[in-house]
Structure 1
Amino acid sequence: MTTTEIKTDAPSATTGAAVRLNFAKAAPKAFRAVIGLDAAAREGLDPTLVELVQIRSSHLNHCAYCLHMHTTDARKAGESEERLHMVAVWQEATHFFTEKEQAALALTDAVTRVADGGISDEVYGRAAAHFDEPELARLLALIFTINTWNRIALATGKRAGTDER
């Protein structure tokens, strides 16, 4: 299938660019696989921690669509505005976050920015001190998943505020 068969030629209301493909419709098996990984990753993790990780990764990846979605979800779950504002600068505002949350955020930074030097033993060890092996594996899967969602949203031109799940 050619790109012209996948996308429409209608301009976007905000950018004037052609509307990009709907990934869920164009690759339903791949889309369902990411949803399955996302659901498996979240199992047993604190929902607040899940949102903090997703917000942080979305900050780092400059994904406005996912950032809007996950800050909205976090607010609905009772997260404070104060903490939401501090996620972007968590290293300078550690007193807003528990040690466990800080370890998860450090791991999120390292995995999301893996090309900038990998995941140090210090960062990995800090996370391993707060999460047992199954939890740590699910935390890693969560980080992998949000990075995938960020890339899907950015590559397909998802617009912040539309929350098209």
Structure 2
Amino acid sequence: MTTHLDETATAYAPEQPARLDWARHAPEVYKAMVRLDAAARQGLDPKLLELVKIRASQINHCALCLDMHSKDALAAGESVERIVQLGAWEESRHFYTEKELAALELTEAVTVLTEGFVPDAVYERAARHFDEAELAQLIAAIAVINAWNRFGVTCRRTPGHYQPGQYK
């Protein structure tokens, strides 16, 4: 792959091929995931949803989902600065609203279940900013992006080719 930056050609490492086209080999699972994803996003702010998806994908090291959701966030009007700061949101809290911070904290707790549960304080903070229906949708959206991440990472899906809105 060659790209041009400042009129100079830069050679990058070759793309790793995908391990498995799981959607082709398990089409009913893929279709169910697409339907689940569509259902989980209902009633949630699209920009907040993309921030949550990016943060979970950072934690899970899913390059395909980082590519996809960063592009979708930008297309939805999100700022580059807020996307870049997501990896250090705890140190750059001033870029986010209290509601977004609660969603990011919940995303991390649900994504990294090292304690085996979501701490009460994290859940209660989220519950102060989201009504029960929104909170249920948010939890569903976090669970769904984690599932997508696991497919992407395991099957080594290749980032860099997604166009915003391609799979909506």
Q: 1:85 matched to which residue of 2?
A: 84
Q: Distance in 1 between matches of 2:59 and 2:19?
A: 23
Q: 2:6 matched to which residue of 1?
A: none
Q: 2:147 matched to which residue of 1?
A: 148
Deviation at 1:117, TM superposition (A): 4.6
SS in 2 for 1:115: coil
Q: Distance in 2 between matches of 1:117 and 1:81?
A: 34
Q: Distance in 2 between matches of 1:28 and 1:64?
A: 22
Q: Distance in 2 between matches of 1:100 and 1:91?
A: 14
Give 5+ residue unaligned stretches, structure 1.
1-12
Q: 2:100 matched to which residue of 1?
A: 101
Q: Distance in 1 between matches of 2:38 and 2:133?
A: 15
Q: 2:15 matched to which residue of 1?
A: 14
Q: 1:125 matched to which residue of 2?
A: 124
Deviation at 1:89, TM superposition (A): 0.7
Residue type at the aligned position of 2:111: T
RMSD: 1.5
Give 5+ residue unaligned stretches, structure 2.
1-13
SS in 1 for 2:159: coil
Q: 2:3 matched to which residue of 1?
A: none
Q: Distance in 1 between matches of 2:142 and 2:135?
A: 11
Work out whether 1:39 is the aligned partner of 2:38: yes
Q: Distance in 1 between matches of 2:26 and 2:83?
A: 33
Which stretch has the larger CA shift, 106-115 or 116-125? 116-125
Structure in which a larger fraction of residues adopt helix: 1
Deviation at 1:116, TM superposition (A): 4.0
Deviation at 1:37, TM superposition (A): 1.1
Residue type at the aligned position of 1:38: D
Structure in which a larger fraction of residues adopt strand: 2
Matches within 5 A, 1:44-59: 44-59=43-58
Q: More relative contact order in 1 or in 2 (CA 8 Å, sep 6+)? A: 2
Which stretch has the larger CA shift, 24-33 or 122-131? 24-33
Q: Distance in 1 between matches of 2:58 and 2:105?
A: 13
Q: 1:30 matched to which residue of 2?
A: 29
For these two proteins, the number of residue pairs brought into alignment is 151
